[in-house]
């Protein structure tokens, strides 16, 4: 099982109400993809030590399914319509969640 984490830094012009819309749209769109499990979306609470405005994360069975998600039309549209216009930068992390599993076979 892979945990996919994306930290987002929004553009300066994104006001709090727009950030709320982005979070809602992230939930709506990503939950349309059946391979996405345990979706989480949140915004930062500490602005002094955290440059990332918000995040989303989800679990997926393996790296092949994660690649499928990234190629899925819903995800591609999400990137173009939500992330592209409003996100200045992002950091992506993937973690294997099964103890003892060789990550080469994730």
DSSP string, 5-33: EEEEEE-TT--HHHHHHHHHHHHHHHTTS
The answer to whether residue 102 is domain-embedded is: no
Per-residue pLDDT band for 47 (boundaries 50, 70, 90) equals confident
Total number of domains constituting the chain: 1
pLDDT of 99 higher than 90: no
pLDDT of 104 higher than 70: no
Q: What is the pTM of this model?
A: 0.90
The answer to whether residue 86 is domain-embedded is: yes
The answer to whether residue 104 is domain-embedded is: no
Instruction: Look at phi and psi of residue 3 and say left if phi exceeds 0, alpha if psi is from -120 to 50, else beta.
Output: beta
The answer to whether residue 47 is domain-embedded is: yes
Q: Which domain holds residue 56?
A: 2-97
CATH number of the domain enclosing 9: 3.30.70.100
The answer to whether residue 29 is domain-embedded is: yes
Output b/e per residue, 13-23; b: 16+ Cβ within 10 A.
ebeeeebeebb
């Amino acid at each position: 099982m892979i945990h996919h984490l994306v930290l987002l830094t929004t553009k300066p012009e994104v006001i709090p109400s727009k950030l709320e819309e982005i979070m809602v749209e992230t939930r709506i769109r990503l939950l349309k993809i059946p391979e996405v499990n345990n979706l989480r979306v949140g915004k930062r609470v500490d602005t002094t030590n955290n440059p990332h405005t918000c995040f989303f994360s989800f679990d997926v069975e393996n790296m092949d399914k994660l690649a499928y998600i990234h190629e899925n039309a819903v995800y591609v549209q999400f990137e173009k319509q939500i992330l592209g216009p409003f996100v200045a930068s992002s950091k992506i992390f993937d973690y294997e969640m099964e103890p003892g599993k060789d990550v080469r076979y994730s």
